[in-house]
Structure 1
Amino acid sequence: MQHLTAHPDGILAVDSGYCHPGLAAIHLIIHEGRAAVVDTGTNASAPRVLAALAAAGIVPERVQWVILTHIHLDHAGGAGSLMCAFPNAKLVVHPRGVRHMIDPAKLWEGTSAVYGAERAFALYGRLAPVEAERIVATEEDMVLDLGSRRLRILHTPGHAKHHICIWDETARAFFTGDTFGLSYREFDVDGRPSVYPTTTPTQFDPDALHESIDRLVSYRPDAMYLTHYSRVTGVVRLAGDLHRLIETQIAVARAARGEGVARHVEILAGLEQIVREEAERHGWPLSEEEIFRVLRTDLELNAQGLGIWLDDCALRELSTA
């Protein structure tokens, strides 16, 4: 299966098929004949997940948990569809996300505001609700058992207020969603990954994100499993790069002049220059055109998120003046 990658400790990465190959991974944790699914991709991803489970010898009835790192639709858009396919599974989501899984209407409105309704429907399709009794709201430090395997939940705001990460004690690894940034395999140099933080709309909080990254690193993980894209090692080095790049992006945003479209264009241009410098720093094996082909959507969303963050900062300053 071309869209399936086997990692150590019974972890499989399924390419969700979102937009283009290698953009978004769905992770399966296989243990003692049971499975947990971390993030779900979109509705269109469901056949790939089912095929990967079948290849691993797991029938749908043996899927115990479907865990969402957060409810942005490239991570959670297929949750309703997969829950229909897994009759015994529970959906695990941050308390802030529960109501949106039961009734996805407001989630859809927010996504449409970012992408436009036509583009959003093309990307995600129609969102299926999940029955309230099948949803488990996370608590800080709660543990999910997958047979004898323990999966610990940490609340990790910064990318979004409703973000969680999952500590797999067996693998000594975190499933990080977007908290530990983006790391695309096209940019690896001799197997050495690089990473780039996400500042997407609408809840980017740099102070919280710094704290969440440090908290993950404090566990001394052997690896991180990112949704974008899958397994990386060299965690301490990558965390240092994330901290540096968060602050560099903030500096670009604060330096931008004007407002509205003019400010957005200036922020985007600054982010593009950061990427050029990172490409030179790491020796990325792609042309500039190819680099921006991979990162174009991410940079656009980062610029939007930084603009919203600037506006929120201005409102807070006014309210305390």
Structure 2
Amino acid sequence: MKTLTSYDHGIHAIDSGYGGERFDAIHLIEEGGRVAIVDTATNACVPRLLDQLDKMGIGRSQVDYVILTHIHLDHAGGAGRVMAALPEARLVVHPRGSRHMADPGKLFAAVQEVYGEEEADRLYGELLPVAAGRIIEAAHGSTLSLAGRELLFLDAPGHAKHHLVIRDGRSGHIFTGDTFGLSYRHFDAGGRQFVIPTTSPSQFDAAALHRTVDMIAGYQPAALYLTHYAQVVDVPRLTADLHRLIDAHVAVAERWRDAGGERHERIKSGLAELFLREARDQGWAMQGDAMLEFLAMDIDLNAQGLDIWLGS
């Protein structure tokens, strides 16, 4: 498995290994011998990240910032362990997420509610706290300098209320976490990339997500970096597709609003049908049952999020 993909402007994607090959990316930004890490994946992925830093000749003390797009554990579960290994780094997080990084007990309890206690323990392990004095709360419009390279932080709700995106002043590119959806390289066909929204629990907000997608597109970035997975281009086309598919997710949920105890499974089946059509119509490289198996976890989480969004 290829662990490292390097792009222009000193930007790199490390395949964290979480969820399988090319599923979850940890991004690096290099400038003047200084480094920022964007998202950490889970505890189990930390050795791979540190090993890759060693292979790149990046010393532990060269890392100035560990930036979390949001505190869902496939993005932030390894943050405590990463910070313990990087003595000079400071953790950058949305103001709504900072207290959970300093004291992750409630965060992990919420994750156990979604996945179940045994599965949450298997996926994420023990969450280590980060000393409050090492945490920077990145408010909307705030900036940090990475060896003179400006990183602009923007509040980006819709997927989660504790989500931010990062605009890189050198390239004009944006690190989007989950707000610009999921774009798996497994589906690429003929050099064409595709995107689908993530509506996972428990803070999906369709109207807010539409606004965030428009905010990102409004900067006219030539490329975006998604945690799932890495660089995407042709941003105007993907923006239109993402808006269309957010609305399609909402339509599936609304159709089954009154389905009672069957609502989750009905929404889940509706999303499966939606993705089968999308794969066929767009010409994804992966089709049919193989595609549904690959997206099984995302479909289930999207259905959970839509179910919660509808309310009781």
Question: How far apart, in 1, do the equivalents of 2:96 and 2:134 lie?
Answer: 16
**Shift of residue 286 of structure 1?**
1.9
2:195 — aligned with what? Answer: 195
CA displacement, residues 93-113 of structure 1 (integer Å, 9 cap, x when unaligned): 011111100110000011000
Structure 1, unpaired ranges of 5+: 315-321
2:149 — aligned with what? Answer: 149
1:168 — aligned with what? Answer: 168
TM-score (normalised: structure 1): 0.95
The one-letter code sitting in structure 1 at the alignment partner of 2:53 is L
Q: Is the 8 A contact 1:157 1:164 kept in 2?
A: yes
Question: How far apart, in 2, do the equivalents of 1:130 and 1:271 lie?
Answer: 38
Structure 2, unpaired ranges of 5+: none
1:82 — aligned with what? Answer: 82
Q: Is the 8 A contact 1:257 1:266 kept in 2?
A: no
1:302 — aligned with what? Answer: 302
Question: How far apart, in 1, do the equivalents of 2:261 and 2:233 lie?
Answer: 38
The one-letter code sitting in structure 1 at the alignment partner of 2:126 is R
The share of aligned pairs that are identical, in percent, is 52
Question: How far apart, in 2, do the equivalents of 1:41 and 1:143 lie?
Answer: 23
**Shift of residue 258 of structure 1?**
4.1
The one-letter code sitting in structure 1 at the alignment partner of 2:114 is V
CA displacement, residues 44-103 of structure 1 (integer Å, 9 cap, x when unaligned): 111111122222221011100000000000000000000001101000001111110011
> 1:9 is paired with a residue of what secondary structure?
helix
TM-score (normalised: structure 2): 0.98
Q: Is the 8 A contact 1:189 1:282 kept in 2?
A: no
1:280 — aligned with what? Answer: 280
CA displacement, residues 8-65 of structure 1 (integer Å, 9 cap, x when unaligned): 1111111111121111100011111111000000011111111222222210111000
> 2:92 is paired with a residue of what secondary structure?
strand
1:117 matched to 2:89? The reply is no
- How many pairs does the alignment contain? 312
The one-letter code sitting in structure 2 at the alignment partner of 1:243 is H
1:59 matched to 2:59? The reply is yes
Q: Which moved more, 1:85-94 or 1:50-59?
A: 50-59
2:223 — aligned with what? Answer: 223
Distance 1:287 1:85, change over 3 A: same
- The alignment yields a C-alpha RMSD, in angstroms, of 1.1
2:252 — aligned with what? Answer: 252
CA displacement, residues 190-217 of structure 1 (integer Å, 9 cap, x when unaligned): 1210000010000000111000100011
Q: Which moved more, 1:208-217 or 1:52-61?
A: 52-61
Question: How far apart, in 1, do the equivalents of 2:286 and 2:163 lie?
Answer: 32
Question: How far apart, in 2, do the equivalents of 1:260 and 1:180 lie?
Answer: 31
1:130 — aligned with what? Answer: 130
Q: Which moved more, 1:52-61 or 1:152-161?
A: 52-61
> 1:23 is paired with a residue of what secondary structure?
coil
**Shift of residue 287 of structure 1?**
3.4
Q: Which moved more, 1:229-238 or 1:7-16?
A: 7-16
1:238 matched to 2:241? The reply is no
CA displacement, residues 283-304 of structure 1 (integer Å, 9 cap, x when unaligned): 1122312101221100100000
Question: How far apart, in 2, do the equivalents of 1:5 and 1:228 lie?
Answer: 14
Question: How far apart, in 2, do the equivalents of 1:39 and 1:121 lie?
Answer: 20
Q: Is the 8 A contact 2:280 2:287 kept in 1?
A: no
1:177 — aligned with what? Answer: 177
